[in-house]
Amino acid sequence: MAEAACDMSPEESQSLRQPEEAKAETPKQQRQPRRRRRRRRGSRRRQSFATYFCRVLKHLHAGLSLSQAAVCILESFVQDMFERIAGEASFLCRLRKGSTLRARDLHAAVRLLLPGQLATQARYEGKRAVRRCRRS
């Protein structure tokens, strides 16, 4: 069989290839149109505490700033603590067989998770926030 292929002239081999090329070139009418994926409008942004870090630092030390790596580390820390406190508070809420997460659940979760003076300060700031929210 290899000899038969070698005996063909270049014109004959080209004539054999032409039907394959004709198949590859199909008119646009036969092709199905590509569907474009629509972008979601108003896609949610990832929540970030970076703006708050800058605001707090400006109040404490006016001339200092944070590097991008420091902001990333703080962001990770705050997200982790938020998830821990929210998880503990929801566990306490389920223990009392309630369906609403209350300030008292958060208060107890902070007391359980944070050590000593840090827990006291966090509870104080939390009470202040609740009072401000109830006033308005």
pTM of the predicted model as reported, rounded to 2 decimal places:
0.60
Q: Give the Cα separation of 60 and 91 in Å (integer).
A: 35
3-state secondary structure at position 66: coil
∠123-48-107 over CA atoms, to 5°? 15
Contact assessment for residue 99 and residue 91, using Cβ atoms and an 8 Å cutoff = no
What is the pLDDT of the chain when averaged over all its residues?
80
Contact assessment for residue 92 and residue 105, using Cβ atoms and an 8 Å cutoff = yes
Q: Is residue 69 very low, low, confident or very high in pLDDT (cuts 50, 70, 90)?
A: very high
Q: Is residue 65 very low, low, confident or very high in pLDDT (cuts 50, 70, 90)?
A: confident
Structural domains of the chain, ranges and CATH numbers in brackets: 50-135 (1.10.20.10)
3-state secondary structure at position 15: helix
Percent of the chain with pLDDT over 90: 31
3-state secondary structure at position 100: coil
∠113-115-117 over CA atoms, to 5°? 130
Average pLDDT of the segment spanning 67-95: 93
Q: With 90 as the cut, is the pLDDT of residue 72 above it?
A: yes
What tokens does 22 get? 């004709």
Q: By mean pLDDT, which of 17-26, 44-53, 92-101 is the weakest?
A: 17-26
Per-residue pLDDT tens for 3-43?
555 555 555 555 555 555 555 555 555 666 677 777 667 66
